[in-house]
Copies of this chain bind each other. A is one copy, B any other.
Amino acid sequence: MEPTINSAQELIECSVPMKANKRTQPEPMQVNVNGVNIGGREVIIIAGPCAVESMEQLVETAVAVRKSSAKILRGGAFKPRTSPYSFQGLGEDGLKMLREISIETGLPVVTEIMDTRQIEIVCRYADMLQVGSRNMQNYPLLKEVGMTRKPVLLKRGMMATIEEFLLAAEYILSQGNGQVVLCERGIRTFETSTRNTLDLSAVPMLKRRSHLPVIVDPSHGTGLRWMVPAMAKAAVAAGADGLIMEVHYKPEEAFCDGHQSLSLGEFDQLMKDLKRVAQAVDRDISRQP
């Protein structure tokens, strides 16, 4: 393995032409998720539960977040869990529920893919494929999603430098799929009062070095429900093209991540606050048509 090239300068100077490099493609790009454009003037909000649990949960949450101006629905059917004894997701049943709710509400859906063998089935139901933090350097998986024509939400590994993050995106781009959205979701540091350390400087840094849109996940980035609003506002002020947040209709009963999920009421209030911040930096969050 090669020593990491470690400054922005060096990457820009890198002689190998890179697709994720701004020198190759100087104009910011928009990624189209079934009609929703990420990377334009509008700040796109992706919301939904950590894991798909039931049709009731999904309907209640999706209808509410749509009303609060979320544009894309998130929800996990295959869950990567630190312990093999934790809830692992509903699998294909969860994917079917996501598809159904998407048809009903008109919200495109994004869901995580963990295994190259799941590509076909996840592509059948989802509008956007998420590659999670733990798989940011799962190269066979990156290549496989690079061979699909679905937009990809690539989360930064909790131990990945900006450089490695862009090279992970390059794995997808190099296979011909240019529709990649980068997501900062917190890195691991010595600090233990938050679940991760949300590195908002990644937003301007990634936007300077690459043409790809950049969004932020304040839910995993902090791990603390009460802190999500402050960091969501900060992310928008820093220039994020969107946010992905965990919202649950009954956070205290969530199968996972309830402690970092917003309630429907908290989410609605936050969306109003975010719209003001977005406008203060010449962006906007529009209502659903």
Contacts and interface: CB of A to CB of B under 8 A. Distances in A.
A170 to B, nearest CB: 6
Interface in A265-289: 273, 276-277, 279-281
Given A81-B2, A84-B167, A162 B193 contact: yes
Contacts of A82: 1-2, 4, 137, 164, 167
A1 B195 contact: yes
Contact of A6 (B134, B192, B237): B192
Question: Could you say which of A50, A140, A187, A256 has the most chain B C-beta atoms within 10 Å of its C-beta?
Answer: A140
- Size class of the contact patch on chain A: 35 or more
Contact of A140 (B8, B117, B191): B117
A166 to B, nearest CB: 10
A227 interface: yes
A53 interface: no
Contacts of A115: 116, 140-141
Nearest to A82: B1
Interface of A: 1-8, 16, 50, 80-86, 114-117, 134-135, 137-141, 143, 157-159, 161-164, 167, 170-171, 174, 187-195, 197-201, 203-205, 208, 220-224, 226-227, 230-231, 233-239, 256-257, 259-260, 273, 276-277, 279-281
A98 B284 CA distance: 43
